[in-house]
Chains A and B, each alone.
Chain A
Amino acid sequence: MKTVIYNSPRQGFWRKLIFAILVLLIFNQCKKDSPEEINEEEVINRVTLRVTASDNTTTNYTWNDGEAIPSIGLTANASYAVSVHFFDASDASDIEDITEEVIEEADEHFIFYEIATANVSISPASNDVEDNDGVSINLKTQWTTADVSSGSVRLYLIHEPNNKAGSTRGAIGGATDVEISFPVTVE
């Protein structure tokens, strides 16, 4: 076996090397560019319900993220055509309509309504968007009111539902992109 002889370390060399590395590290990266502002996408922060009465008068109920949810006023024993629209309103100068993407990917989307205490029944409209299996996805619906009452209508936009035929939110599965409860009064 071979053994080494001890030589005094070339300290000068190491000192220079360490110094060089440190200098390189610190001065090379000291400056950092300002980060680019991120254009947030696919955020749904505005939902509009377009409610058209039988006399063709249309009322828009719009909720913006962070604001109070508007209350929907309906007349008893009437019928309404309701369409729902989703927007990304992060940039006020460039509001994006996400509804189009929902229509494009109708297979992977479903809108589900739950009604609490208000005498309203909701069914898909005849001109509703259908997915490839012919299932209406509830973008356009027919709302029929009965007696005077008040309550709420909760709207869910569901992404990748397991079962569109489910009768409860839990049975439908998938992830909720939008969940919003509109107070409703039937007068």
Chain B
Amino acid sequence: MWRFFQVNRHFLILLLIRQLTFFCLLCLAYHATAQDCNESIFGVVYDLHDNIPLQGVTITLLENDRKVQTKANGTFVFPALCQQGYTLLLEHPDCSPITTKNTQPSSILKKFYLEHHLNELEEIIITDQGQKKTTKTGIESSLSKEELKRFHSQNLGDALAQLAGVSSIKTGNAIVKPMVHGVTGSRIAIINDGIRLQDHEWGADHAPSIDINGADQVQLIKGATALQFGGDALGGIIQLIPQKYPLSDSLLGSISSGYVHQGKGGYLLTDITKTFTNGTYFGGNTSLKNTGDLKNPNHILSNTGNREQHAKVYFGRNTITQEWRFNYSFFQKEAGILAAAHIGTVGDLARSIESTQPLFEKPWTRSINNPKQSTVHHGLSVRYDRRMTNQAKWDIQYSFQANNRKEFDVRRGEANNRAALDIELLSHDMLFNFRSKQENSLRWQSGLSAQLQDNFVDPNTGVRRLIPDYLRYKFGIYTISEYAPSNNFSAEVGLRFDYDYIDAQKYYRIADWNAREYNDDFAHTIISTGNASNYLTRQIKKFGNFSASAGIKQWLGKQTNAYLNLGFITRSPNPSELFSDGLHHALATIEQGDLRLSQERAIKGVFSIAKKNDRFTYTLSGYYSRVKDYILLQPSEQGFDQARNSAFLMREYTQLDQVNLLGIDADLSISFGKHLAYQATAAWVSAQSTTGEPLIDTPPLNISQEIFFQMFKKRPLSLRLSSQYQARQTQFPDYNFSYTFIENGVLTERIIDISSPPKAFHLMHLSLETRIKNNIEVRLVTENIFDVDYRNYLNRLRYFAGETGRNIRLEFSYIF
């Protein structure tokens, strides 16, 4: 009959005595009739956050102005009440008062919760933003909103590249994908507002559809920890965290507008949030970006214009104990693909590589022509968080994502206006997480996830589907325990299991089907024969993926901690690896998936030492991972056969028995008071198969340094001079092929070097920042000050043109 809450033991005993008293009273009340007004209200008042009974709470019965105070065990009683609803006012010097409505006298003990440390909590909410940690023992680094401001005109990949261990793999300048610890794509997870972004299952040419201006903080969790987000992220996790708002009545916002010299473009960003004292908030942000052709110091990069539109609206209510939030975001991008990269055949590729100038250059223009890529992303999510009283929290979240990508190629006639590729991926996600703090030293967190994806490819393109139509279901379950007996030591163990089910329907060219001997293993998957040259097949793939992680953090003294993380990761092949079948125009390459691919299994260990104090901070981490059955795109055995007039290079997704990745990341910052600071990051990684062959697209050594200097007291002017050095990659696989030119009437066969990385480069950037009045910020940023003409190994279009030259950007922000 009495429902006790689990509180500290001695309180429990006290409470028990109290309850017995109530019980006696109740017995008395039972015998009395309602008219006698012998009913009572029994109550106990707790602190909402630590669940400790509150003493000295004054409770006023407003109907007859009777007052009582709670005892040391938090209990109170109002005897001799009539059977009617009463209004109670609960007051405590450290708490906000609360009023209850229609409280009926009853024999049941009523529990009341007062918000005890409200001011303190608000402070935590606001000040904690910069250092919010997701894992206890993982190595995390992040970019704050302030730091993100410097990347207003750029994209997520560019901003992330500031963090040690992150590089960007690019296709031209507008399509930038982050790479963590030497891996990218499905091997890293990008979490936006708690939901994993789904669109990189489409292969390397797809940048995440995220506008960084919508994020408050971008966090990087390196290594295979943080299993709550997925068990397949070998590289790490990138998390975009939305802002937490104070429980106050305010209007926050900003408007920024900038001019970008490269591409003669501009951008306009707005951001507004209204918050109320009751925790309700709503707001939104928008970004518009528009640039034309970019320029290399020596030539125009024709058709590299870019248009972006992004909008986000959100509303929710945060009352500390519970929070709900609704979020909708829209992202649209139209990016021109470097015209010089539009080639038709391997011969064109060979000529492009041999030429130092782009083979296609037109006068500067703002307009975007074919080839171009157009992507649209809609994201909708609803989330509810609840903080339970017994140190437990849970949250539930539903999200829907619609991703559409269209590619337009240079085509003949009307087809030029029709997309050559049009994929739509719809994803529904449902997540549930439960967190609990058993005792002070032990915490655990568990969760469930379910996902449904529907991928549809528009058949009206008149071009073979790169990725087939499919349905995909995923179910995941995880649990993570943290043990922190003292501030000096903590340990974390996590387990996760995912079930991945793919049901695809795909047309195979009969010639390809036979060449790959699919009849031996997959004859039963053929549903019908299409127009004589195709088989329609149904491919069902099921994978059970098990992942685990373990980590410890040990205090070494002198503000220094050591971290050790071990992870076991299983990743099932994604649809692009299994089923790709199409032409990559820029590289004159036909990319083909392989139905026989199995899961990738990896172990990864990360060891780090981090020191942090006001003046000197560093993190040094080393990692090693060993991946079994590593999936990668390799030249196929058929290769390139000029005698049969193959116009394209053939690449297939294959698995290497074992790949070893070994790397070091370091960052360092030294502060000489408020006005002068120095920081540096460096990263190096080696990726090799056991046969000693290096992996393609492995980031070379890079070192970034920055000096920060602030002048003038009254109106501070901040100056930031940075240097970015990228070495030449010396470890690369040989994917060269030979091509026969006809020169001066003679056949000349030459090796076409598509493998050798470009030279090292060193760039300098300068940024100046000041405030006019109190609320206008002015930023003048010059990138690549010396207009260096360089090519970047991690740009897949590096064969066709150099990178962009000097860029000057001027921005005004009005903050309110």
**Which residues of A approach B to under 8 Å, CB–CB?**
1-6, 9, 14, 18, 21-22, 25-26, 29-30, 32, 34-42, 63, 65-69, 90-92, 98, 101-102, 104-105, 108, 114-117, 151-152, 154, 156, 159-160, 162, 169-170, 173-181
Contact = CB atoms under 8 A, between A and B. Distances in A.
B124 to A, nearest CB: 15
Contacts of B746: 116-117
Contacts of B543: none
A181 B642 contact: yes
A167 to B, nearest CB: 11
B108 to A, nearest CB: 12
Interface of B: 48, 95-98, 100, 111-115, 118, 247, 277-278, 319-322, 342-345, 347-348, 351, 354-355, 359-360, 386, 389, 396, 398, 410-413, 415, 428, 430, 432, 450, 452, 454, 457, 459, 461-465, 468-471, 473, 503, 505-507, 511, 527, 530-534, 536, 642-645, 647, 740, 742, 745-747
B336 to A, nearest CB: 15
A21 B430 CA distance: 9
A4 B745 contact: no
Contacts of A181: 642, 645, 740
B344 A159 contact: yes
B647 to A, nearest CB: 6
B645 A69 contact: yes
A168 to B, nearest CB: 8
B644 A35 contact: no
A42 B415 contact: yes
Contacts of A30: 471
Contact of A6 (B48, B463, B530, B643): B48
16 contacts: A1-B277, A18-B430, A21-B398, A25-B452, A32-B469, A35-B469, A37-B536, A38-B464, A38-B465, A42-B412, A98-B412, A151-B747, A159-B412, A162-B360, A170-B354, A177-B344
B457 A35 contact: yes
A29 to B, nearest CB: 6
A6 B645 contact: no
A63 B430 CA distance: 55
A30 to B, nearest CB: 8
B359 A170 contact: yes
Contacts of A69: 643-645
A2 B412 contact: no
The 5 closest A-B pairs by CB, nearest first: A41-B462, A176-B344, A3-B115, A175-B344, A114-B742
A53 to B, nearest CB: 24
B342 A175 contact: yes
A3 B454 contact: no
A151 B644 CA distance: 17
Given A5-B98, A32-B505, A176-B348, A105 B642 contact: no
Contact of A22 (B344, B412, B450, B506): B450
B413 A169 contact: no
Contact of A101 (B112, B348, B412, B532): B412
B647 A179 contact: yes
Given A32-B505, A35-B465, A37-B530, 4 more contacts: A5-B100, A35-B468, A38-B464, A117-B745
B645 A175 contact: no
A37 B507 contact: yes
Contacts of B100: 5
A63 B647 CA distance: 14
B106 to A, nearest CB: 15
B211 to A, nearest CB: 27
Nearest to B400: A25
A22 B430 contact: yes
Given A4-B319, A37-B536, A66-B644, A175 B343 contact: yes
Nearest to B100: A5
Nearest to A28: B452
B347 A169 contact: yes
A67 B430 contact: no
Contacts of A115: 742, 745
A2 B98 contact: yes
Contacts of B351: 169-170
Given A159-B344, A175-B343, A175-B348, A1 B118 contact: yes
B503 to A, nearest CB: 7
Contact of A173 (B359, B452, B461): B359
A32 B345 contact: no
A9 B462 CA distance: 54
A161 to B, nearest CB: 10
B415 A37 contact: no
Contacts of A6: 48, 111, 113, 321, 389
B505 A173 contact: no
A26 B452 contact: yes
A4 B430 contact: no
Given A25-B452, A170-B351, A176-B347, A5 B112 contact: yes
A40 B462 CA distance: 5
A40 B464 contact: yes
A34 B278 contact: no
A33 to B, nearest CB: 8
B113 A116 contact: no
A116 to B, nearest CB: 4
Nearest to B398: A21
B582 to A, nearest CB: 11
B278 A2 contact: yes
Nearest to B361: A162
Contact of B742 (A5, A29, A154, A180): A154
B318 to A, nearest CB: 11
Contacts of B389: 6
A63 to B, nearest CB: 7
Contacts of B533: 90
A18 B452 contact: no
A86 B623 CA distance: 56
Nearest to B115: A3
